[in-house]
């Protein structure tokens, strides 16, 4: 998608609100403005639209019942609600299982629960492709585990985890299984009605709905405790007057995601592969991070050796291209992302990890432009890098450097 002569390839961070979705939302601000909890016609009209949206989210998830959908403010609230609900519902169970590559919405809460509330947290490692260590996962499971929370697909690399299998294993020891599917919903087919997954988080702004709206899938019959208490909204599972425009936007986004899912897994995937293949062919000493054979169709993360991701992003931005870095600035010193560290990506490459995330709005012309620009940017930055000058031409052996 081109905006103001720019090319947007940062769709895993957020997506543009689809104009068709916006049109569905606008009447909720002016024409259908009633409080859905009110008994008069103004409220009933809004309530009907919310229930329509609930059915659309049910459909994209392949859930058995629309009552299993609880609207929230987004992925982080859904993640927190799922984990805290399980711990409150099973207070005698004092262990949590998660992975080392989760979103901060899960990892930060787990760290808090571990340090402040004394829970034992099992953080399952990944290998060099970002795949979960299944033996470590199996070992961590026991009847003391209240909840397992493992993402469906990683936001940085796109690597997909076998969540249906993980859920079945969790159920064998009586644990609740939750998955953060913020990056996955709308990109890959789901049928929760046939799975052992108990709870699932999603966020509207990752699938062309607005920010500030999300949902938590809660399987019917699951013991559940709300995080927000107050009114009776969402069948007393999430108090607070409903964000009706956002909910309708999420419903419309879910409906469109089903329509476009085939395109995501064919045309968008082909564009991603074209971009990746061209960059790898034109730029020396770079490689794809994550599992190239088992990942989201829109996500490409390439690590460029001996240069900084932030410098790459700055020059891409000057060229009118938006992407994102695999590095994060912490306390004034640049550190590779926790995902790159967990995968054992060499330090010399982890800093240069750059994510290109496409959407159904991405065009081939845009990809061609990126292919034309990236090699020159990398060459320019490497010409300024003393590390590249020292290492250029030396044989490379990629080996994990993190414990």
Q: Model-level pTM greater than 0.85?
A: yes
At residue 356, the pLDDT reads 98
What whole-number distance in Å separates Cα of residue 246 and Cα of residue 129? 36
What whole-number distance in Å separates Cα of residue 258 and Cα of residue 61? 10
Provide the 8-state DSSP code for 14: -
Strand pairing partners for 328? 335
At residue 326, the pLDDT reads 60
Given 110, 286, 300, 329, the catalytic residue: 329
- 153 by DSSP, 3-state: which? strand
Q: Among this protein's residues, is 286 annotated catalytic?
A: no
At residue 386, the pLDDT reads 85
Strand order across the beta sheet in which 120-124 lies: 69-72, 214-218, 199-203, 176-180, 145-149, 95-99, 120-124
Query: What is the full per-residue pLDDT of the chain (403 aa) written as tens digits?
Result: 445 569 999 999 999 999 999 999 999 999 999 888 888 988 889 999 999 999 999 999 999 999 999 999 999 999 999 999 999 999 999 999 999 999 999 999 999 999 999 999 999 999 999 999 999 999 999 999 999 999 999 999 999 999 999 999 999 999 999 999 999 999 999 999 999 999 999 999 999 999 999 999 999 999 999 989 898 888 889 989 899 999 999 999 999 999 999 999 999 999 999 999 999 999 999 999 999 999 999 999 999 999 999 999 999 999 999 999 864 433 344 678 999 999 999 999 999 999 999 999 999 999 999 999 999 999 999 999 888 888 765 545 544 443 3
Contact 272, 300 (CB under 8 A): yes
At residue 84, the pLDDT reads 98
At residue 392, the pLDDT reads 66
Q: Output the DSSP codes for 242-257.
A: --HHHHHHHHHHHHHH
At residue 193, the pLDDT reads 98
The secondary structure element, H or E, covering residue 171 is: helix 163-172
Q: Output the DSSP codes for 257-270.
A: HHHHHHHIIIIIHH
What whole-number distance in Å separates Cα of residue 245 and Cα of residue 35? 11
């Amino acid at each position: 998608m081109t905006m103001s002569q720019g090319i947007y390839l940062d769709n895993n961070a957020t997506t543009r609100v689809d104009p068709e979705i916006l049109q569905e939302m606008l009447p909720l601000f002016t024409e259908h403005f009633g409080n859905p909890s009110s008994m008069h016609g103004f409220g009933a009209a809004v309530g009907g639209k919310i229930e329509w949206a609930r059915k659309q989210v049910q459909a994209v998830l392949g859930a058995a019942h629309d009552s299993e959908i609880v609207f929230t403010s987004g992925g982080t609230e859904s993640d927190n609600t799922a984990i805290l609900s399980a711990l409150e519902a099973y207070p005698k169970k004092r262990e949590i299982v998660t992975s080392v590559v989760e979103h901060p919405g899960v990892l930060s809460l787990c760290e808090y629960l571990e340090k402040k509330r004394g829970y034992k947290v099992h953080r399952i490692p990944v290998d060099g492709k970002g795949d979960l260590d299944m033996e470590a996962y199996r070992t961590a499971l026991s009847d003391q585990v209240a909840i397992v929370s493992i993402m469906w697909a990683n936001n940085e690399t796109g690597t997909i985890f076998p969540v249906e299998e993980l859920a079945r294993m969790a159920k064998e020891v009586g644990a609740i299984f939750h998955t953060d599917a913020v990056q996955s919903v709308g990109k890959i087919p789901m049928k929760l009605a046939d799975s052992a997954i108990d709870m699932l988080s999603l966020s509207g702004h990752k699938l062309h709905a607005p920010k500030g709206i999300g949902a938590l899938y809660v399987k019917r019959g699951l013991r559940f405790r709300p995080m927000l208490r107050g009114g009776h909204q969402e069948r007393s599972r999430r108090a607070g007057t409903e964000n009706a425009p956002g909910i309708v936007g999420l419903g419309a986004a879910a409906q469109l995601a089903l329509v476009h899912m085939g395109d995501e897994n064919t045309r968008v995937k082909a564009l991603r592969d074209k971009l990746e293949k061209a960059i790898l062919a034109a730029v020396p000493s770079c490689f794809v991070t994550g599992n190239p054979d088992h990942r989201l169709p829109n996500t490409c993360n390439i690590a460029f050796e001996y240069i900084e991701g932030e410098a790459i992003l700055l020059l891409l931005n000057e060229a009118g291209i938006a992407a994102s870095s695999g590095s994060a600035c912490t306390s004034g010193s640049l550190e590779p992302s926790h995902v790159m560290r967990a995968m054992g990506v060499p330090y010399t490459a982890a800093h240069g990890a750059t994510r290109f995330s496409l959407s159904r709005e991405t065009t081939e012309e845009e990809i061609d432009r990126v292919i034309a620009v990236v090699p020159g940017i990398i060459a320019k930055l490497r010409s300024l890098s003393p590390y590249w000058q020292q290492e250029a031409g030396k044989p490379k052996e990629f080996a994990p450097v993190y414990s």
